[in-house]
Chains A and B, each alone.
Chain A
Amino acid sequence: MTDEPGEYDDFLTDLQSVVAQRVEELRARQSAQTPPAFNDEEKVVREWPELAGRIMEEFR
């Protein structure tokens, strides 16, 4: 710990991002079966791009 409160806040922020990264890794391990390419949003389109495919326009 340091005497400077600003530095301590920065330290906590860094720690949070490390923890978040670890949690993400855990999630990735949970779905280890998924081929890596399908977890890469730069390669795969996950959400259907047309609104018509995600809503119901017929009144029923």
Chain B
Amino acid sequence: MAIRGSLTEASLPDVLQLLAMGRKTGCLGLTFANNFGYIYFNDGSISHASIVNRGLGTEEAVYLLFTWTQGTFNFEPGATPDEEVQLHCIDPQSLLLEGARRVDEWALIAKKIPTFDIVYAMDRHKMMEIDRGLTAEEERLVPLIDGQRDVSAIIAESRLGEFVTAKTLYGLLTTGYVIRIGVSTRSRAPARADDKATEHRNLGVAFYKTGMYEEAQREFRRVDTLRENDPEACFYLGLVALRQQQWAAAAHAFERYVSEQHSSRPSVFVNLAYAYEQMGELERARTAMADALSHGGRGDPLVQTNAAAMAVAAHDYETADAALASARTLWGTRRPPPAWFHYAGLAAAMVNDLDRAIALLGEAVQVYPGYAVLWNNLAVAYEARGDFDEALRTVERGLIEDATLPQLHRNFADSLQRDGRFDEAREAYRRAHSLDAL
């Protein structure tokens, strides 16, 4: 379940400590005015952090996020960073002290450098007058303080990071080596619609990935207004609608993509097929899935897995089996996702190949032990094969992962009943029934 709150009520250091102590995995998204930052956690450690449209490294981003004392946060459990980002393993505690120090220093710096569009120049006379020597950081900055570049440009070119650059500039200002010339013309010029659209697009993707769907929708609607027929805006508006279970709106967005864009992508058709399936329009769903396969999806294991899921729903286990086998081949040595194991186990069991179902689901619970659904169906496969002791052990293990899954209670009840533990079985049946009614 997502955790949301206001940074005025719970500060970022408090939230970080809470997530570290709980050894959480997921993504903490933070908004402040029109800014958005996020911190990924893996088992309570910080694995990656960034602020959208700022290009900061993980530690720099976290330190800057500490200065956001207003705004909101949202924790999306289970979310993981993109594959291409560099991963770290940072104890949040180790950043708290430095973070607190920087917050105090930022407050001082902001008094002298209130915005990053200010242009400064060196006062050479003052430098000769008070010759105190320059630090290494100052040496790096001096050639860039040329009466042309604003603070943002100096930060970008110095590669010292926002905090060190601003702090160094603060030192130079305090000694009088640097004087303010004005503000950059760039900040006075209206931003180009395309640049603005890219900024909104970046924000939208970040909001989407951290489970902030309403905010993501708002950003992609802006992109849609600024850049006509933007394919990504259309795609993400469809995804947001899927996440909000607005199936017709999702179908409309993906249909719009198909009609407006020349290059068709299998992911669009897969999502369109799912929206149709949820709307009960199975024939259209099948057509969309066929389009996904014919538009390059045959070589994509995720498309094949989704095609298999649709075939399982239609009781076509032969087609499902073929698609799942193809997906596994396409993944090669990479591990298939849990949904693949789920459908592969189910398709095998449905054609009474219980040994294969048990092997697949057994492998699944080894690599994805957190999914109660996999434990449940494995228990049913054991029961169907007559391995009742193993079925009971498996169902008990599944209940540790999720005690709210009604099927697990039902299977637990059946196991107890077989053991002659009738009172306990009755209680488990009652739990299964009440959970199912929810």
Partners in one complex: yes
Residues of A participating in the B interface, judged by any CB pair closer than 8 Å: 31, 33-38, 42-51, 53-60
Whether B232 lies near A54 (C-beta < 8 A) is: no
Q: Is B414 an interface residue (CB 8 A)?
A: yes
Contacts of A47 in B (CB 8 A): 309, 313
The answer to whether A38 and B349 touch (CB under 8 A), given A55-B242, A60-B267, is yes
Which one of A31, A43, A48, A49 lies within 8 Å of B411 (CB-CB)? A43
Q: Is B306 an interface residue (CB 8 A)?
A: yes
Contacts of B208 in A (CB 8 A): 57
Which one of B232, B342, B407 lies within 8 Å of A48 (CB-CB)? B342
Whether A48 lies near B380 (C-beta < 8 A) is: no
The interface size of chain B toward A, counting residues with CB under 8 Å, comes to 47
Whether A34 lies near B274 (C-beta < 8 A) is: no
Whether A48 lies near B309 (C-beta < 8 A) is: yes
The contact sample of 19 A-B pairs, CB cut-off 8 A, is: A33-B351, A35-B384, A37-B380, A37-B384, A43-B380, A43-B414, A45-B342, A45-B405, A46-B312, A48-B339, A48-B373, A51-B242, A53-B309, A53-B337, A53-B338, A55-B239, A56-B266, A56-B270, A60-B267
Q: Which 6 pairs between the two chains have the least Cβ-Cβ distance? A: A53-B339, A56-B267, A35-B384, A33-B352, A48-B339, A45-B373
Residue of A nearest to B383 (CB): A37
Q: Is B243 an interface residue (CB 8 A)?
A: yes
Which one of A36, A54, A58 lies within 8 Å of B339 (CB-CB)? A54
Contacts of A51 in B (CB 8 A): 242-243
Interface centre among B235, B270, B350 (most CB of A within 10 A): B350
Whether A56 lies near B350 (C-beta < 8 A) is: no
Contacts of B141 in A (CB 8 A): none
Whether A35 lies near B354 (C-beta < 8 A) is: yes
Q: Is B271 an interface residue (CB 8 A)?
A: yes
Contacts of B265 in A (CB 8 A): 59-60
Chain B positions 302-360 with a Cβ under 8 Å from a chain A Cβ:
302-303, 306, 309, 312-313, 315, 337-339, 342-343, 346, 349-352, 354
Whether A59 lies near B350 (C-beta < 8 A) is: no
Determine the distance from Cα of A54 to Cα of B303 in the docked complex, in whole angstroms.
Answer: 9
Determine the distance from Cα of A55 to Cα of B242 in the docked complex, in whole angstroms.
Answer: 9
Residue of B nearest to A49 (CB): B373
Contacts of A53 in B (CB 8 A): 309, 337-339, 342
Interface centre among A43, A44, A56 (most CB of B within 10 A): A56
Contacts of B406 in A (CB 8 A): 42
Contacts of B410 in A (CB 8 A): 42-43
Contacts of A45 in B (CB 8 A): 342, 373, 376-377, 405, 407
The answer to whether A31 and B350 touch (CB under 8 A), given A51-B243, A56-B270, is yes
Contacts of B405 in A (CB 8 A): 45
Residue of A nearest to B340 (CB): A53
Whether A56 lies near B303 (C-beta < 8 A) is: yes
> Digit string of B372-392 for contact with A (CB within 8 Å is 1, else 0)?
010011001001100000000
Determine the distance from Cα of A37 to Cα of B339 in the docked complex, in whole angstroms.
Answer: 21
Q: Is B432 an interface residue (CB 8 A)?
A: yes
Whether B384 lies near A48 (C-beta < 8 A) is: no
Contacts of B235 in A (CB 8 A): 59
Q: Is B157 an interface residue (CB 8 A)?
A: no
Known A48-B309, A49-B373; further 10 A-B contacts with Cβ < 8 A: A34-B349, A38-B349, A38-B350, A43-B414, A45-B377, A47-B309, A47-B313, A54-B339, A56-B306, A59-B235
Contacts of B383 in A (CB 8 A): 37
Closest chain A CB from B167 CB (angstroms): 39
Contacts of B380 in A (CB 8 A): 37-38, 43-44
Contacts of B239 in A (CB 8 A): 55, 57
Q: Is B424 an interface residue (CB 8 A)?
A: no
Chain B positions 396-438 with a Cβ under 8 Å from a chain A Cβ:
405-407, 410-411, 414, 432, 436
Determine the distance from Cα of A53 to Cα of B405 in the docked complex, in whole angstroms.
Answer: 18
Contacts of A49 in B (CB 8 A): 373
Contacts of B352 in A (CB 8 A): 33-35
Which one of B309, B414, B436 lies within 8 Å of A54 (CB-CB)? B309
Whether A55 lies near B339 (C-beta < 8 A) is: no
Determine the distance from Cα of A40 to Cα of B384 in the docked complex, in whole angstroms.
Answer: 12
